């Protein structure tokens, strides 16, 4: 902390959803503010059942529940994050709509696909899989794998939506990306782009920084 007083946990509002945030003890600023516009956009597509992978404090999940999804499943590997998510659900009187599960994303995606589970909307907001440039190729293979597995969990019907948040600098949505890019099952197209809020920052002083953006895909088969 550089300046000011540590006030501990504070409550913020994003749209019509409230969250408890600890700017000092929480991860980064205590809340992933760069996705605030994307959460509001994605909530507009929420209906039926929603799966939020890497849910962290439950921001995407709770926005979807608030917007009208009938049931939402949030999955994360962090027990403290899920505790905060559950508290946020209670704060917004959404506990009956949302279920929280602790698990590893690759294992959960595989197991739920094999069990025949399907969701009307699947959200992937993964952490960075690479800590340096040497790890980028393997990281992109990881993104390709989780995205491909997530597509198998999208329920049949019309429309079928999948939000992918991936590093845009190397174009993980394209076949020439490291790891082969995403092999989309007959995508109808990109419904909306999902850049970091206000677009990528000026990175002229750090050209090797990888910034995440995403796409809301509509899948027809």
Q: Domain ranges in the chain?
A: 33-219
pLDDT at residue 195, as a whole number: 44
For 124-155, the DSSP string reads E----S-SSGGGHHHHHHHHHHHHHHHHTTBP
Closest CA to 182 of 200, 158, 159, 166: 166
**d(C-alpha 148, C-alpha 135), whole Å:** 20
pLDDT at 185 over 70: no
User: How confident is the model at residue 181, as a pLDDT?
Assistant: 45
pLDDT band at 150 (very low <50, low <70, confident <90, very high): confident
Longest distance between any two alpha carbons in the chain, whole Å: 54
Dist. CA 152–CA 53, nearest whole Å: 14
Q: What count of other Cβ atoms lies within 10 Å of the Cβ of residue 62?
A: 30
* Mean of the per-residue pLDDT values of the chain: 75
> Tell me: the pLDDT tens digits for 19-37?
998 877 666 666 777 778 8
Residue 107 has pLDDT above 70, yes or no: yes
Q: So what's the pLDDT on residue 133? A: 72
Q: Binning pLDDT at 50, 70 and 90, where does residue 161 land?
A: low
Q: Predicted confidence band at 182 (pLDDT cuts at 50, 70, 90)?
A: very low
- The CA dihedral of 106, 112, 116, 120, to the nearest 10 degrees, is -90
Structure tokens given for 84: 């905060």
Model's pTM, two decimal places?
0.78
Residue 4 reports pLDDT greater than 90: no
Lowest-pLDDT range of 34-38, 150-154, 216-220: 216-220
Supply the pLDDT for residue 214.
60
pLDDT category, 5, cuts 50, 70, 90?
Answer: confident
Give the H or E element holding residue 36: helix 36-43
The CATH class, in words, for 33-219 is alpha beta
How far is Cα 214 from Cα 169, in angstroms, rounded to an integer? 11
First to last CA, the chain: 50
Mean pLDDT of 151-177: 57
The answer to whether the CB of 125 falls within 8 A of the CB of 116 is no
């Amino acid at each position: 902390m550089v300046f000011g007083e540590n006030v501990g946990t504070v409550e913020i509002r994003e749209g019509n959803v409230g969250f408890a945030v600890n700017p000092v003890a929480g991860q980064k600023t205590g809340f992933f503010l760069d996705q605030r516009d994307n959460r509001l956009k994605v909530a507009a597509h929420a209906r039926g059942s929603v799966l939020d992978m890497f849910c962290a404090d439950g921001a995407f999940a709770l926005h979807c529940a608030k917007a009208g999804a009938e049931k939402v499943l949030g999955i994360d590997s962090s027990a403290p994050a899920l505790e905060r998510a559950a508290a946020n659900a209670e704060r917004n009187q959404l506990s009956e709509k949302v279920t929280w599960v602790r698990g590893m994303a690759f294992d959960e995606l595989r197991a739920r696909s094999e069990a025949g589970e399907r969701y009307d909307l699947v959200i992937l907001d993964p952490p960075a899989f690479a800590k340096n440039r040497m790890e980028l190729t393997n990281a992109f293979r990881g993104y390709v794998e989780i995205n491909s597995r997530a597509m198998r969990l999208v329920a049949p019907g019309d429309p079928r939506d999948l939000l992918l948040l991936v590093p845009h600098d190397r174009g993980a949505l394209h076949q020439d990306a490291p790891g082969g890019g995403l092999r989309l099952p007959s995508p109808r197209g990109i419904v909306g782009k999902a850049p970091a809020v206000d677009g990528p920052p000026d990175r002229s002083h750090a050209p090797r920084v990888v910034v995440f953006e995403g796409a809301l895909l509509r899948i027809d088969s």
